[in-house]
Amino acid sequence: MPAPDPAAADRQVADWSEVQLHIVTGKGGTGKSTVAATLALGLASSGRTVLLCEVEGRQGIARMFDVDPLPYAERRIATGLAGEDGRAGAVHALHIDAESALLEYLAMYYKLGRAGRALDRFGVVEFATTIAPGVRDVLLTGKVYEAVQRNSRNRGATQYDAVVLDAPPTGRIAQFLNVNSELAGLARMGPIKGQADTVMTLLRSPRTACHLVTVLEEMPVQETTDGIGELREVGLPVGAVIVNQLRPRDLSPADLVKARRGRLNKTAIKADLGAAGLTPTPTLMKALTSEARDHAERRALEDEQQALIDQLQLPTYGLPRLAAGVDLGGLYELAELLKEQGLA
């Protein structure tokens, strides 16, 4: 299914080859997690080894890829489609939770192996990550940072060409990523502050891009605009806007105008129905013209929102609404579209 091309000119100049960390955010209900998974598969279909991370505790990755719930451990879950060179990368997944990340942090930096697990049993870990949300976000982003920064010295650990983070929604994304600001009143020095500084160096670098997912509705587009402003205000790199769940564009602009005004050529519609073996009864004709009018009005509203997105002057990509819903096969279909458009 071909996807609309709302910003081809922008895409021709967008170069994502240097980006290692793709952060995907969006208003709830826009398909943010689906787009993150799609992007990971698309990057893998370009021959890359990709890590797809989630931090919201919903086990969305497991459901989308039809695998068992993910532990706090990296696990290979899919293979990308082979490219023209015959190479196909792989998608690994990681479900990050703050408690496990804190235990790992204590073991790495303070050598608190069994002692850290004892703290967890007494509820100290949960208490620490709940009472100090800034620390929680440092731990979550710190684990993502570690995956991006790996090199040959990390024996036995998979090295990734790209990491895709299914991040919190746009309403919280700037706060989540701006970990230095969140820690200002909690830790002015020490290892946690040092880790936050290091993470921010990556997040503010050209190696990171924050992509925003929206649908062509007023509230999601407004939240996307607000999210872009908040990210820029704290110095975080804005990547692309991904317009999800686009409707088919089968009617011409002229026909859409006629449909809204109730002036479609009913003789032609009856002829088409007859050619398809259907009887053009008055009830059927009324239902079809009413459906066409609703579709045309919806398209007009979507065109208004698309114009607002175009004003953002960002690389923009489109993914269609899949009539049968998004299963694993649908993810591969969407991933191929992102690859063709140049984001993956």
> Model confidence over 183-229: pLDDT tens digits?
545 555 556 677 778 888 999 999 999 999 999 999 999 999 999 99
Q: Confidence class of residue 71 from pLDDT cuts 50, 70 and 90?
A: confident
Q: Confidence class of residue 155 from pLDDT cuts 50, 70 and 90?
A: low
Alpha carbon distance, N-terminus to C-terminus of the chain: 18
Worst-scoring range by mean pLDDT, 10-19, 102-111, 223-232, 288-297? 102-111
Per-residue pLDDT averaged across 319-340, rounded? 93
In the chain, % helix, strand, coil (3-state, to 5) comes to 50, 15, 35
What CATH topology corresponds to 8-250+314-341?
Answer: Rossmann fold (3.40.50)
How many angstroms separate the CA atoms of 132 and 123, rounded?
A: 14
**pLDDT, greater one: 103 or 160:** 160
Helices (H), 5-162: 8-13, 32-44, 60-65, 98-110, 113-121, 124-131, 133-149
| Helix (H), strand (E) at residue 186 | none
**Residue 48 exposed, middle or buried by CB count within 10 Å (0-12, 13-18, 19+):** buried
Other CB atoms within 10 Å distance of the CB of residue 203: 24
Query: Which structure tokens are listed for 120?
Result: 């967890």
Q: Whose CA is closest to 38, among 331, 236, 234? A: 331
Can you tell me whether residue 274 is helix, strand or coil?
A: helix
Query: Which structure tokens are listed for 100?
Result: 């496990």
Tell me whether strands 75-79 and 316-320 are parallel, antiparallel or unpaired: unpaired
How does DSSP classify residue 2? P
Write the DSSP assignment of 28-42 as a string of letters.
Answer: TTS-HHHHHHHHHHH
Helices (H), 179-281: 179-183, 191-203, 218-233, 253-261, 266-275
How many angstroms separate the CA atoms of 16 and 6, rounded?
A: 19
- Do the Cβ atoms of 159 and 49 come closer than 8 Å? yes
| Domain ranges for the chain | 8-250+314-341
- Do the Cβ atoms of 340 and 2 come closer than 8 Å? no
Worst-scoring range by mean pLDDT, 35-39, 136-140, 191-195, 323-327? 191-195
> Model confidence over 4-55: pLDDT tens digits?
444 443 334 478 999 999 999 999 999 999 999 999 999 999 899 999 999 9
Task: Tell whether the model's pLDDT for residue 116 goes beyond 70.
Answer: no
Q: Is 59 left (phi over 0), alpha (psi -120 to 50) or beta?
A: left
Per-residue pLDDT averaged across 284-312, rounded? 92
- Which residues have a Cβ under 8 Å from the Cβ of 173 and sit 6 or more positions away? 23, 25, 167, 210, 227, 230, 231
Total number of residues shown for the chain: 344
> Model confidence over 247-286: pLDDT tens digits?
888 888 888 899 888 888 889 999 999 999 999 999 999 9
Whole-prediction pTM value?
A: 0.83
